[in-house]
Structures are given as structure tokens and as C-alpha cells.
Structure 1
């Protein structure tokens, strides 16, 4: 039997791209060039609540197309995107949009609608914007994309500068979009949903005009794209990528994110089952570093805090502020040296190649992980951070999974085609688009399936009934 040491090695992976999907629907996107040189965007969505919706509006001309030569595409200016944030913005939605759009090559500006750049998001994550919204008032954007969350959507709604920017965007027939509460709470009062089929989070659905409300996970209506919540944000962001850059780019990014059909792989497999039960609120440590993958950090923190778990985000850097892999600025709760004074029921390592490398160099973290194993407490990793556990001998005799880019060949110990693998007190996941399943698996182990399903419903994330 080959050990994990022989398979968790860097390798080039060629993906077979699956259909773009959200976690709650199967969605297919097709944007074709038409004779006028413009683009036609169609979003077809299957939903258990509503039949598929297909809207085919004209889009701005001269998109970056895969049919163009590399030199021609390189000569075009980058697509410019505005993502505004405020107190109470839903962190998963903001971060997933920014991460995905930057991977596609967009110049994404994260702008605060508050007097300061640092904001605390809806589930407690502290984010730092790139600039103030006031500095964006005279700029032209190819896309303005509003994250949801409460009271974040209200803070966006009450920002006059943002309202002016978004109104001008709509009047100029340039792309704009909103997710979760933002369509109903922000765009509707601004009058930007008129005569447009729209969707939003189920909790705000009754606020939408009845005739134009659509119960689908994503809806394209002219230059407006709307979606339902954190659990549909990957497909929302990929739809925006396709409208900006074309189908081939969206497919490529979807492969990198590990977005695939719900039935393409199993949700989780568990070996050597043990109970994870405590007589207190579980305490979880999430160490972060420059280069950590922001989708993974924020998704784990967001979902576990929704489940009322006590989360500590600790920086292994000299500062509590870290710069994540796609440029998102995150403020940790404390430094690792301070965090190490406490004991944790579970330690989770986020991925990101640069971040994993820096985490692996932290002597304090390595000591904590060793103590965690010796004490029989729970530990886990997602994406490339499985390599950290491997180097410390913490995967010995364990079943695990990892990001495809670091798994070179099959082995009995490495479980493929599974989003999450649990072996006793170890939990691992492939990363990125599988990390919501990872966090919900932790919730299920700590509190039971019913709690995990309740959290998933709030995310608009499809989760099994039993």
C-alpha cells in the first residue's frame, strides 16, 4: 500500500470541466456572439420551486472572447468591477465574488460605504476595503456587484454615492448584480428592479414585485443578474464572469474552484467513527497567514459562527491583518502566540499554497497541532494544507483527501471523488467550492444533522434531509 507521502505531491492536473452548478440547482450558462457583435446572455436554471428561467438580453459589445487571439485580449483594458461593502455585509458573498472575479482577470475594487475602510461583516469576519466609495464616484465600471447580508444591504441602500453609481450603471446599460437581501433591500428602493425578473433570499422574497419575482437560484434579466444567497454565490460569480469574459473563461475558473454537479462526487465519507461531543460550546482555532485562501477562511468562519461555535481566527504573521491569496484583506482576532495560551476542541487549517507554506513555518502552530493529536482532540485541513499535517506525521494510518493539484496518484489512503473525508478525529476536504460541505460536516458532527440542515437552509445551500 502506498502512503499518503507518495501522493500528496505537487503535480499538474487536467480537469474535465463539469456543468456550472450552484449548490441548490443545476445551472447552465451560454453566452454567444451575435451578428451585431454584441453578446446574448442566457441563464437557464432548474429549481425544485420553479421551472427553468431563460432570459436572453443584449449585453455590452466587445467582450473579451476566447475566440480572440491572446495578443488582442492582452491589449484590451481589464474589466473593472466594483464590490461595495459595509457593516453587516455577508462575508461569504463579498469574498467569493471578489475571489472568483479576480481569478478571471477582473480589476476588482472593494469599496467601503462606511467612514472607515475596516468593516465587521454579518458573521463577525473583519474585512478591510481597498478604498472608500467616495473615491469611486467618477469611475466607470464594467460591473457593479452588490453582496447581501443584514444590516449590510441597508448600509448599501443608504449610501447616496453608491446609489448614484449604480443608477448610472443601469442607465448606461452596463452590468450590475445583487445577491441575497440586496435585490429587495437595496435595488428595489432605488427603482432598479422595474420590469426585471428578479430573485433574492427566501426571507426577503415577499418584498419583490409579485409579477416579476422568480424563485430560481440565479436570474439574468437584461444587464441585471440576481441570486439567492451564500449557497448560490459560486454560480452567481461564475455567471458574472461569463458575461464579462466569455464561456471558456467561466469554465476554466469553475474547474479551478472545483465547482461541479451535485452528483459528481459524494458529499462525505467517514471511517473509524467516533463521537464529537462536548459539555461546552466547542472552541475552534483557525490559523491564517498571508496567502491563505480567503474563500476557505471566510466560509468556514461564517458557517461555524452561524452554528454558534466559538471561533478564534489567529494570524501567524507579525500583524493581525493578513493579505489573502486573491488580495482580500482580513483582520484576525489575535496573533497565534496569544491564541496558543488557550486549548481548542478543533484546529482547522485553511489552504492556499502561499498560506499553507507560511503556516507550516510557524513553530507555535506546529506545537499546537502535535499537542492536539497527543491529547486525542480534533484537527483538520482543507485544500493544500493537508500537506502540513502530512509533514508532521498527523496523517499516518488515516484516510484523507486533498486538493487535486497536490495528489499525484490514487492510493487506498487517499479518498477520491469525495468532498469531505472524516477519519476518527481527523477531517479533510478538497477545498474552495467543497469547503461549505466541510464546514457543515463539522456542524453535523458537533450538533447533529438537524442543526447542519438548519444552517444550510439559511445559506440557501442544498443539504440532505436525512
Structure 2
């Protein structure tokens, strides 16, 4: 059965952090639903790139719709729009209670903090948000997995986040294949050339 992931997009989301992860997951045949948190089908990011969503948040039934992972890209004012949306907070709290994996990158761990679900987990974030979150332990790492919470630092780590999400979903072979196919490993082997 295909894995199912919801990507929450708010106006002002960080485009690289959203599209990199969506692309990697879809290449691995994950059923990704891009979800607009507003009543609009199209969502514009912090750098004026507009993405068409697959579904709107008001169509999601948090009590019956099952997902393997919920993913939040960062970006300002995107994270403010996520944190200010009562339905986003309820969704995060409900899926967290169910033990669903939740991934957040860059400034988005702050949204998890605002939802009250970060305090029991180790986490990382964009350095500019380090003092705005209160995880169990802050870690200066590219990627942190703590229970059902996955966090990463920013746009530059978004491809790694996508690969790590695949591994978390039990798709390590797909992650390794895509790292090779997408020349990701080559980049790190030759980045000083």
C-alpha cells in the first residue's frame, strides 16, 4: 500500500522546502496531497512562486483521513499563517496524539512549538528560530528524528529532509536509489571541485 503524506501550504511558505520534498516523495511513488490551509486552491510562497494545491484544509476530516506523515515547510510569513490557523493547530495536535509522523523544516518547528507538541522531542530548526522554540533538547544537526517528530534546518537541507522522510516511512531503498539518480551523492563527493 502506498504511503500517504500531507504537505501543508500557507501563503508565504518557503518554496524550495516545499517543492524539494514533494518532488522526492512523488518520485518514490508516495501519495502526496498538497493542502492549502486557506479557501484558495493556489498558494503563493515567500518568493512569489505559486503552487496549485490538491486539496483544501477545510476538506480534511482529521478523525477519518489517515496519513503516514504531515509535512510543514518553513518560510515567513508562511509559518505565522500556519500557527495562526486554529484548524492547522488542531490537525497537528490530533495527528500527533495518533502517533503520526510530523516533519517540519526551517522555521516550521516553531509551529509545532506553538501547537504544544515540540516540548517532548529533540529538534533542530533554522538558526534564527533556535531561541523561539523549546524542545526537550535543541540539536545543531542537519536532521533530527525524535519519536514521531522530524525536523531539519532550512532550504539547503530540504533534499536531505525528503530522503530522510522516505527512510522514516520504511522506504530506505527508494531513498538510496533517488540519492544516486538525482546526483545528490555525487554533489557531496565532488562539492569542492
Q: Would you say same fold, with TM above 0.5?
A: yes
Higher share of residues assigned helix = 2
Structure 2 partner of 1:54: none
- What is the CA-CA distance between 1:452 and the residue it aligns to? 0.7
Aligned residue among 336, 350, 361 for 2:57: 336
TM-score, normalisation: structure 2: 0.89
SS where residue 319 of structure 1 aligns?
Answer: coil
Structure 1 partner of 2:137: 413
How far, CA to CA, are the matches of 1:431 and 1:404 in structure 2? 9
Pick 1 or 2: higher relative contact order, CA cutoff 8 A, min separation 6.
2
- Write the deviation string for residues 152-175 of structure 1: whole angstroms up to 9, x where unpaired: xxxxxxxxxxxxxxxxxxxxxxxx
Aligned residue among 89, 96, 99 for 1:376: 99
1:78-117 → structure 2 map (5 Å cutoff): none
How far, CA to CA, are the matches of 1:328 and 1:400 in structure 2? 28
Aligned residue among 415, 422, 436 for 2:159: 436
Q: Within the alignment, does 1:445 sit opposite 2:171 as a pair?
A: no
Count of residue pairs brought into register by the alignment: 184
CA change 1:447–1:405 in 2 (3 A) is same
Aligned residue among 301, 304, 307 for 2:22: 301
TM-score, normalisation: structure 1: 0.38
Structure 2 partner of 1:291: 12
Range 339-348 or range 364-373, more displaced: 339-348
Aligned residue among 52, 73, 76 for 1:353: 76
Give every structure 1 segment of 4 or more consecutive aligned residues whose post-TM-superposition deviation is greater than 4 Å.
Answer: none
How far, CA to CA, are the matches of 2:108 and 2:61 in structure 1? 19
- What is the CA-CA distance between 1:397 and the residue it aligns to? 2.2
1:192-271 → structure 2 map (5 Å cutoff): none
Unpaired stretches in structure 1, ≥5 consecutive residues: 1-279
8 A Cα contact 1:340 1:364, kept in partner = no
- What is the CA-CA distance between 1:385 and the residue it aligns to? 0.8
Structure 1 partner of 2:149: 426
Unpaired stretches in structure 2, ≥5 consecutive residues: 189-193
8 A Cα contact 1:340 1:368, kept in partner = no
SS where residue 384 of structure 1 aligns?
Answer: coil
How far, CA to CA, are the matches of 1:448 and 1:288 in structure 2? 24
How far, CA to CA, are the matches of 1:408 and 1:374 in structure 2? 26
- What is the CA-CA distance between 1:390 and the residue it aligns to? 0.5
